[in-house]
Amino acid sequence: MANRNPNTKGLIPWKSGQSGNPSGRPRTQPISDRYAHIAEEKLPENIRKKLKLGPGATYGDAIALRTFQVALEGDIAATREVREAIEGKAAIRVTEEREAPQFDLSAIPTRHVPVRTN
């Protein structure tokens, strides 16, 4: 049950347009944060040697190397991943508006194709 006589003494109302939580809700990305943490961990020695990576190589190094290898094998998704990681996502290019080209089709020879009737 709500308090019918709340103690509002000393409370100052927010100014118009002022937030009670100026920083807002903390932005967390639980899964991405975990990926980032694991990517910086050192690889186990047996995996590092198998991939021929140098001492101190991380899971992130291994993933980057493997992504490049798969891209070189012709995997388009891996190629796109590498490009976007380096150059950023491709922007949608807006070109100037032009009038559609007009073609003169009268110069194309036509051939009469007989229509079959049943």
Kindly report, residue by residue over 19-37, the tens digit of the pLDDT.
777 777 777 888 999 999 9
Q: Is the pLDDT of residue 94 over 70?
A: no
CB 86 within 8 A of CB 68: no
Q: Is the pLDDT of residue 10 over 90?
A: no
- The partner residues of 58 in beta bridges, in order of sequence, read 42
How much is the mean pLDDT over the chain? 84
Residue 57 counted as domain residue: yes
Range of the domain at 54: 31-87
- What per-residue confidence (pLDDT) applies to 54? 95
| Tens of pLDDT, residues 64-79 | 999 999 999 999 999 9
Residue 101 counted as domain residue: no
| CB atoms closer than 10 angstroms to residue 42 | 13
Residue 58 counted as domain residue: yes
Amino acid at 9: K
Q: Is the pLDDT of residue 4 over 90?
A: no
- The partner residues of 42 in beta bridges, in order of sequence, read 58
CB 58 within 8 A of CB 42: yes
pLDDT cut 90: percent of the chain above it: 47
Q: Which residues contact 48 (CB under 8 A, 6 or more apart)?
A: 42, 54, 55, 57, 62
Domain count, the chain: 1
Extended strands (E) in 1-118 = none
Q: How far apart are CA 118 and CA 105, in angstroms?
A: 32
Residue 80 counted as domain residue: yes
